Amino acid sequence: MEKVRFGIISCAGIAKKRFIPAITGASNALLAAVASRDPEKARQFASDHQIPEAYGSYKTLLNQKDIDAVYIPLPNGLHKEWSIKAIEHGKHVLCEKPLAPTQKDCEELAAAAKANGVTLMEAFMYRFHPLTEFVIRQVHNGELGDIHAIQACFSFVLNDPDNVRFQPDLAGGSVMDVGCYGINCTRTFFNEEPEAVSAVAHYTKPCVDDRMTIYAKFRSGKQAQIICSFSSQAPEGYMISGSKGWIVSSNGFRLGVEHGKIIQEIDGIRSSFEDATNEYTKMIEHFSDCVIHKTAPRYDAIEAGRNMAVICAAMESAEKNGEWVRLK
């Protein structure tokens, strides 16, 4: 089977913890190189993870003709810059979420990818887990009846004030880092864009929220509450409420790698589901399949832009002390 040859742009922790184990299990992809701005760091990282090639600059990796695609796990504020550079070098791009800081930025990336004939996808891995796909089918097929509401939460304690997630110039903040999951799953499960959002936040630095609560209302009458935080512990996942039943997830955004569970009750009958499938591997395989067969990804950069529109509206609302912000 043909395999897509990947290079990693940076030695980020998520590459070590999630991407490398996942690509090792992928049927149609392999890891060929890693790049760092520090040549010795790149060499050590490659040695530690049995990566064939190490480069002392991102540009050097992009110049390699035998690299088909790059995975970009850089800080949020660098995603657009290096995605554009990779695209202009003819590389397919799998970029960590959020793809770019604004909807317009995502649209510009989409246009660049189209112009250069490459595949571009945002790395929201949870969407590719079989149980997430099951939940999407249950909701969209009406198994829960009329859907009324969703509550979603992704929260953990981040004690390092120097962490890049707290840097305003790198698009830091809890809503950008983990609130994006709750917003994305709400839009995915509802299959609808919110009409307006209201948000309240706490800030550790100007323009950098360490926690935020978002309320969203939809033209259909659906409602959502989304909680994200760097300063408190809480169960990770979502609860979907319908007229015939409900679905609750435990570790719902990392169902495979963190041994999550889906619990469903419909008409009083309760069931639970677990599946150890690595969602990162499934994502890499989908992306690589798109590269090999020249097909569009299930979730493109335009879709990523719609998610960013909601994130930016929530940030605007929080800065206005919860004033409702309408989306276009």
Distance CA 154, CA 74 (A): 21
Distances (CA, A) of 74 to 17, 173, 178, 233, 241: 14, 15, 15, 25, 36
E runs forming strands in the chain: 4-9, 29-35, 53-55, 69-72, 92-95, 120-122, 147-155, 196-205, 208-217, 223-229, 237-242, 245-250, 261-266, 269-273, 325-326
Which residues of the chain are in CATH 3.30.360.10 domains? Answer: 126-280+308-326
Amino acid making up residue 185: C
DSSP string, 238-290: EEEEESSEEEEEESTTSTTTTT-EEEEEETTEEEEE-----HHHHHHHHHHHH
Distance CA 174, CA 224 (A): 18
Contact indicator for 245, 237 with CB cutoff of 8 Å: no
User: Residue 230 class from Cβ within 10 Å (0-12 exposed, 13-18 middle, 19+ buried)?
Assistant: buried
User: Would you say residue 301 has pLDDT above 90?
Assistant: yes
User: Rounded to 5 degrees, what angle do the CA atoms 210, 19, 77 make?
Assistant: 40
**For 214-242, what is each residue's pLDDT tens digit?**
999 999 999 999 999 999 999 999 999 99
pLDDT value of residue 276 = 98
Q: Is the pTM of this model over 0.85?
A: yes
User: Would you say residue 1 has pLDDT above 70?
Assistant: no
pLDDT value of residue 190 = 98
Residue 221 gets the label, from left (phi > 0), alpha (psi -120 to 50) or beta, of: left
Looking at the domain that runs over 4-125, which CATH code has it been given?
3.40.50.720
pLDDT value of residue 157 = 97
The mean pLDDT of 246-266, rounded to a whole number, is 98
Confidence of residue 207 (pLDDT cuts 50, 70, 90): confident
pLDDT value of residue 206 = 85
CATH class entry, domain 126-280+308-326: alpha beta
Percent of the chain residues topping a pLDDT of 90: 98
pLDDT value of residue 294 = 97
Q: Return the exposure string of 103-133: e unless at least 16 CB atoms fall within 10 Å of the residue's CB, then b.
A: bebbbbbbebbeebebbbbbbbbbbbbebbe
Percent of the chain residues topping a pLDDT of 70: 100
Contact indicator for 248, 263 with CB cutoff of 8 Å: yes
Which residues of the chain are in CATH 3.40.50.720 domains? Answer: 4-125
Dmax over CA atoms of the chain, in Å, equals 60
The mean pLDDT of 287-309, rounded to a whole number, is 98
